Amino acid sequence: MMKRSKSARKAYRKRQLNNGRARNYKQQKGCAVCGELDVDKLELHSRYGHKGGRGNHVSRLIGRGVSWKRIIQEIRGCDVLCHTHHIELHQWRYALLNV
Ligand SMILES: [Zn+2]
């Protein structure tokens, strides 16, 4: 096993913490269409479009270790949707949900 530096451990803890915060946020909101509350089925859909494809930009930010302040800004520009409705949204190009 590779020995991790103190800063690497710190970065890891920060990612874990922000991941947990993002999960809490999704769970509190639930799917904007059907109200699904199972956090493992919930995804964030950016109202401003996914820059550079359909990647999950919020998890990329968390992975990069940016501050929660920056991450929550991004999350607030998103709708919480379950996996099924997220796909439907992309397929049918629904208008903004305004939630
Ligand atoms: Zn749904």
- d(CA 46, CA 66) in angstroms, rounded, equals 18
Residue 20 lies in a domain: yes
Distance CA 34, CA 11 (A): 35
Q: Which pTM was predicted?
A: 0.78
93 belongs to a structural domain: yes
pLDDT of 47 higher than 80: no
Higher pLDDT among residues 93 and 20, named by residue: 20
* Domain of residue 90, residue span: 10-97
> What letter would DSSP give residue 39?
G
Residue 3 lies in a domain: no
Distance 82 CA to ligand 1 centre (A): 4
Indicate if the pLDDT at residue 54 is higher than 50. no
86 Cα–ligand 1 center, Å: 7
Residue 25 belongs to some domain of the structure: yes
Domain membership of residue 1 (yes or no) is: no
Domain count, the chain: 1
Does the residue 59 lie in any domain? Answer: yes
Distance 81 CA to ligand 1 centre (A): 5
| CB-based contact 55:90 (threshold 8 Å) | no
Q: How far is the CA of 60 from the centre of ligand 1 (A)?
A: 23
Q: Tell me the average pLDDT across 85-94.
A: 78
